[in-house]
């Protein structure tokens, strides 16, 4: 065999096969297994992309280049092609440290432009490592670079060795760990966003190993998956979860729990039958268990997984889609496979408190999921502000460090026992599930169709109000509702809650009335109210009830500015709208003004006909004396109420009923005003 095959860059380069490569190391380099040679694993990241955009020939050209560069570094280099875009090579250690840099530097320009990059892991070839062990370690070192941006070389050193050994340990010791009880089923509470109460838990695996101490799932789950052992772990975790549920059940503190299933569980065993038999051994009912499968496991077009999940579903298990938002074709999966709850990944929750765009992405995601008839659960909630936003966008459930980190069984028991003391859980669950079905973005719900609403700032203001013994409480509302409250003069939601819970306002009285009617009739009820300067029409519809509490969907369907009413406009309205004849005079009984109906009554063309004149000037009365005396008495402070009299109107004598009062200004009588109604032609007696 020509071990220097790539010593001649001019010759067409070729790779060794894997077998030939291993033999080469084994036979020819064994005498040098003292560190004089280095085994490398090179992964060309971006090769697929290059093939796609530039064509396969260009891809091959880039490959050739890489090979020639390695061959050019040392006449002793030997290369084998591994996976589609992976190579193993061996070179003298003295050349190893620069190889990654040189390969990348010498990539052709078109390859660099397309983002091609060589990532290289290396390991010293030392006893007692065999060739395959060397390649495995080099490849491992290379894999650690996958997510490292810009980094292209990693040597297998002591630090990596620890990680590497741990992975090997996990695979070799799983059976022992199960037998010795090192696997634990921890739990993280899942809360209802509206109440902050625990409604269920998610079971998360932990491994308390003899050699490495405490291991987290990312240190063993991927490795067990790689070695097709994950189902063993999962079945043990499920067994533990059932055992713990029994203990909680005996203490009347059980809550439903969720288990994580790997895509491989469906391929490696009859997971459904195993789970059922464990559950029946412990007497755990189906409605107490939900299954979590990741989005990506179901989007690979895997019939096995889809069929398996359907089997659980058909048997009555609740199915959660895990990690939504981290994979691809999520919408496709949701349309074809029915999930009950979608767990929205932490990456979509991060920063919603500070980033408007992140917030609207999450809001739309929640809305879309709800429209498809599924519940939403946000993962990785870490602070109060995030929780508030979840409430505003109508996400039903949440999980995260803000409430509780995953905790060992004993701590879960304490939490649940305490919680079970003061809640009627079953009833509460149904109540909040019904509320959770409402889509706060557009007010629709899976079973509440046909709600129409005017829009305000793009969305209708929508809230869910609870009427209970303490008055009216705002359970949740969307951002449009929130803004409406600001516009009405409330500083924030708490301000509004305080206002409504005082229970005194007229708004409350109207709302309570409408709520009663809505409950009685089962139909939506409208009511109107004014707060500050805003005039609103709103509707209430009963959506859920439990003992002593009723939840209503509250939609604000129209919002207007109330007209500005000043005393002046009020007075004009009264004067002109009443149909009576009004007039007013100064202290000398001279006309200062009159309303239109007064002028019309007498047939005057305008105020000019009367201003500054007295009754005597007008020549209205045959006998002026009684009229003058009446008015003088009024100017002395008396009131004359509804006194019958006569007057001459357009040549006709008519009966009238008149009233007159003094006009005060600063405590002094400055004039009088009066009004009268015509009651018909004059009759004697
Ligand atoms: P997962 O199913 O998405 O579980 C949620 C993970 O997020 C948990 O990590 C949990 O501790 C973490 N987490 C929860 N709230 C927060 C938060 O507010 N902030 C942050 N930064 N993290 C939070 P954990 O327990 O390390 O589990 C990691 C993954 O391992 C799980 O992700 C799941 O995919 C897998 N896993 C866990 N247990 C099992 C199991 O029994 N079987 C299988 N097949 N996979 C499991
Ligand atoms: Ca999960
Ligand atoms: Ca998750």
Ligand 1 centroid to residue 629 C-alpha, Å? 97
Pocket test for ligand 1, best of 185, 379, 409, 412 (most atoms within 8 A of CB): 379
Quick check: bond before 128 cis, omega within 30?
yes
Question: Which residues, at least 6 apart from 35, have a Cβ–Cβ distance to it below 8 Å?
Answer: 93, 124, 125, 126
Q: What is the dihedral of CA 101, 107, 113, 116, to 10 degrees?
A: -70
Distance separating alpha carbons of residues 597 and 582, to the nearest angstrom = 8
Tokens of 98: 């620069």
Are domains 450-572 and 578-681 of this chain identical in fold? Answer: yes
Which atom of ligand 1 is the closest one to the Cα of 345? 3
Which residue's CA is minimally distant from atom 22 of ligand 1?
A: 380
Residues 28 and 3: beta-carbon distance below 8 Å: yes
Kindly list the averaged pLDDT for each block of 10 residues, start to end, along the chain of length 685.
39 69 80 82 91 89 89 86 85 89 93 93 89 92 89 94 93 96 96 88 96 94 94 98 94 92 95 97 96 77 84 94 76 71 95 92 89 90 94 92 94 80 64 82 44 40 86 81 79 72 67 90 86 79 91 85 72 82 94 92 90 86 82 94 86 90 92 93 83
Which residue's CA is minimally distant from atom 33 of ligand 1?
A: 260
Q: State CA 107 to chain mean position distance.
A: 46
Residues 290 and 322: beta-carbon distance below 8 Å: no
Residues 123 and 96: beta-carbon distance below 8 Å: no
Segments making up each domain of the chain, as ranges: 18-156, 167-424, 450-572, 578-681
What is 18-156's CATH number? 3.30.70.270
DSSP 3-state of 427: helix
Judging by DSSP bridges, how do beta strands 117-126 and 153-155 pair with one another?
Answer: parallel
- 523-537: b (≥16 Cβ within 10 Å) or e: ebbebebebeebebe
Which atom of ligand 1 is the closest one to the Cα of 216? 26
Distance separating alpha carbons of residues 536 and 529, to the nearest angstrom = 6
For the question of whether the overall pTM of this predicted structure is more than 0.75, the answer is no
Ligand 1 residue neighbourhood (C-beta within 6 Å): 188, 204-205, 216-218, 221, 230, 234, 237, 260, 262, 322-323, 346, 379-382, 399-401, 406
Residues 674 and 659: beta-carbon distance below 8 Å: yes
Fold exhibited by the domain 578-681: Beta-Lactamase (3.30.450)
- Length of the chain counted residue by residue: 685
Judging by DSSP bridges, how do beta strands 341-344 and 375-378 pair with one another?
Answer: parallel
Ligand 1 centroid to residue 174 C-alpha, Å? 19
| Residue-level pLDDT at 671 | 95
Residues 476 and 440: beta-carbon distance below 8 Å: yes
Pocket test for ligand 1, best of 177, 202, 217 (most atoms within 8 A of CB): 217
Q: Could you give the C-alpha distances from 268 to 229, 272, 307, 308, 312, in angstroms and in order?
A: 8, 11, 14, 12, 16
Pocket test for ligand 1, best of 200, 204, 402 (most atoms within 8 A of CB): 204
Residue 233 is classified by DSSP as H
Tokens of 339: 């999930």
Distance separating alpha carbons of residues 273 and 618, to the nearest angstrom = 109
What are the two backbone dihedrals, phi and then psi, of residue 117, each rounded to the nearest 5 degrees?
Answer: -150, 140
Which atom of ligand 1 is the closest one to the Cα of 230? 44
What is 450-572's CATH number? 3.30.450.20
| Residue-level pLDDT at 197 | 84
Residues 671 and 585: beta-carbon distance below 8 Å: yes
Distance separating alpha carbons of residues 365 and 88, to the nearest angstrom = 44
| Residue-level pLDDT at 576 | 81
Residues with CB under 5 A from ligand 3 (ion): 322-323, 379
Pocket test for ligand 1, best of 220, 260, 291, 386 (most atoms within 8 A of CB): 260
| Residue-level pLDDT at 447 | 34
Residues with CB under 5 A from ligand 2 (ion): 260, 292, 322
Distance separating alpha carbons of residues 682 and 685, to the nearest angstrom = 10
Residue 229: how many CB atoms within 10 A of its CB? 18
CATH architecture of 167-424: Alpha-Beta Barrel (3.20)
| Residue-level pLDDT at 330 | 57
Which atom of ligand 1 is the closest one to the Cα of 399? 15
Q: State CA 653 to chain mean position distance.
A: 79
Which residue's CA is minimally distant from atom 14 of ligand 1?
A: 400
- Which one, of 341, 260, 273, 339, lies nearest residue 306 by Cα? 339
């Amino acid at each position: 065999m020509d071990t220097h095959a790539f010593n001649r860059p001019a010759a067409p380069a070729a790779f060794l096969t894997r077998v030939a490569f291993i033999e080469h190391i084994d036979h020819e380099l064994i005498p040098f297994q003292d560190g004089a040679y280095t085994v490398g694993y090179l992964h060309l990241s971006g090769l697929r992309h290059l093939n796609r955009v530039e064509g396969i020939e260009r891809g091959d050209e880039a490959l050739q280049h890489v090979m020639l560069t390695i061959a050019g570094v040392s006449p002793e280099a030997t290369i084998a092609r591994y996976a589609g875009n992976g190579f193993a090579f061996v070179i003298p250690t003295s050349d190893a440290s620069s190889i990654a840099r040189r390969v990348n530097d010498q990539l052709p320009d078109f390859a660099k432009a397309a983002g091609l990059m060589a990532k290289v892991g290396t390991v010293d070839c030392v006893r007692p490592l065999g060739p395959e062990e060397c390649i495995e370690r080099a490849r491992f070192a290379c894999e650690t670079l996958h997510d490292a941006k810009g980094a292209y070389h990693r040597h297998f050193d002591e630090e990596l060795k620890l990680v590497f050994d741990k992975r090997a340990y996990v695979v070799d010791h799983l059976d022992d760990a199960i037998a010795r009880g090192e696997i634990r089923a921890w739990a993280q509470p899942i809360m209802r966003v509206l109440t902050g109460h625990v409604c269920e838990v998610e079971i998360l695996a932990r491994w308390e190993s003899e050699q490495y101490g405490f291991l987290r799932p990312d240190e063993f789950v991927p490795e067990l998956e790689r070695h097709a052992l994950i189902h063993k772990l999962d079945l043990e975790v499920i067994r533990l979860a059932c055992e713990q549920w029994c203990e909680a059940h005996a203490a009347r503190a059980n809550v439903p729990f969720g288990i994580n299933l790997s895509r491989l569980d469906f391929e490696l065993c009859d997971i459904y039958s195993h789970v059922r038999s464990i559950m029946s051994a412990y007497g755990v009912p189906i409605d107490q268990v939900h299954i979590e499968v990741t989005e990506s496991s179901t989007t690979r077009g895997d019939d096995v997984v889809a069929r398996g999940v359907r089997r659980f579903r058909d048997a009555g298990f609740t199915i959660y889609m895990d990690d939504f938002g981290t994979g691809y074709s999520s919408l496709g999966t949701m349309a074809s496979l029915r999930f009950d709850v979608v767990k929205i990944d932490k990456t979509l929750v991060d920063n919603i408190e500070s980033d408007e765009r992140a917030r609207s992405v999450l809001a739309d995601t929640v809305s879309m999921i709800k429209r498809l008839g599924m519940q939403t659960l946000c993962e990785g909630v870490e602070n109060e502000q995030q929780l508030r936003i979840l409430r505003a966008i109508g996400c039903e459930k949440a999980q995260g460090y803000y409430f509780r980190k995953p905790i060992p069984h004993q701590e879960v028991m304490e939490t649940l026992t305490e919680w079970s003391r003061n809640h009627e859980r079953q009833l509460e669950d149904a109540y909040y599930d019904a509320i959770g079905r409402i889509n706060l973005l557009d007010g629709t719900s899976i079973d509440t169709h046909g709600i129409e609403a005017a829009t305000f700032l793009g969305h209708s203001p929508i809230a869910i109000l609870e009427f209970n013994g303490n008055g009216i409480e705002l359970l949740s509302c969307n951002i449009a509702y929130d803004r409406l409250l600001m516009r009405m003069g409330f500083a924030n939601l708490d301000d509004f809650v305080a206002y409504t819970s005082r229970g005194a306002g007229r708004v409350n009285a109207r709302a309570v009335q409408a709520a009663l009617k809505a409950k009685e009739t089962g139909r939506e009820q409208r009511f109107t109210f004014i707060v500050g300067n805003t005039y609103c029409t709103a509707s209430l519809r009963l959506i859920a009830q439990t003992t002593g509490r009723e939840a209503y969907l509250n939609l604000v369907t129209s919002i207007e500015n109330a007209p500005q009413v000043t005393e002046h406009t009020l007075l004009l309205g009264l004067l002109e709208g009443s149909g009576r004849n009004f007039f007013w005079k100064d202290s000398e009984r001279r006309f200062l003004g009159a309303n239109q109906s007064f002028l019309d009554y007498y047939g005057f063309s305008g105020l000019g006909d009367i201003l500054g004149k007295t009754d005597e000037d007008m020549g209205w009365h045959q006998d002026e004396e009684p009229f003058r005396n009446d008015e003088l008495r009024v100017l002395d402070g008396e009131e004359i109420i509804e006194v019958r009299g006569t007057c001459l109107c357009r040549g006709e004598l008519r009966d009238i009923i008149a009233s007159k009062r003094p006009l005060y200004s600063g405590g002094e009588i400055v004039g009088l005003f009066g009004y009268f109604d015509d009651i018909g032609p004059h009759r004697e007696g």
